[in-house]
Structure 1
Amino acid sequence: MSYTIDFRRKVISVRKAEGLTIRETAKQFRIGKACLNDQSQKIQRHVRGSSIKML
C-alpha cells in the first residue's frame, strides 16, 4: 500500500517526538514494520544526501 507524503511525515515526526520504536509506531498507526523501516531509511538517505550537497 502506498501512503501519502503527509502521512509518512506525520508518522516519522510522531515517532521522533514520542521516542517510539519502529514496532510501537507501526502498531499505533496500524502499518507494517517493514514499511515504516523503509520510510525511515529513505528519509535518512535523503538527509545525508542533502547535507553532502551543501558542503
Structure 2
Amino acid sequence: MEEILDELKIGEKLTMGVSASEDEIGLFLASEDISASCAFRKEEWDNFVAAVKKADKQINS
C-alpha cells in the first residue's frame, strides 16, 4: 500500500492518513481516545469525497 497522506495532524488531537493500493483507498482517523479506519473502492472514494464537499458547501453557506 502506498502512503498518500502520512499522518497529517488536522487538529490539536486529531490526525488522519490516507493510503492506496491498486483496488482500494484507506482512510485513517485518530484522536487520543479513539481511532477508525475505512477501506473504499475507487468509486466509493469518489462518492465519499463528493459528499464531504457537499456537506462543506452547506456548512459554509
- Check whether TM > 0.5: no
Larger radius of gyration: 2
Q: Going by fraction, where is helix more abundant, 1 or 2?
A: 1
Q: Going by fraction, where is strand more abundant, 1 or 2?
A: 2
User: With CA pairs under 8 Å and 6+ residues apart, which has the higher RCO, 1 or 2?
Assistant: 1
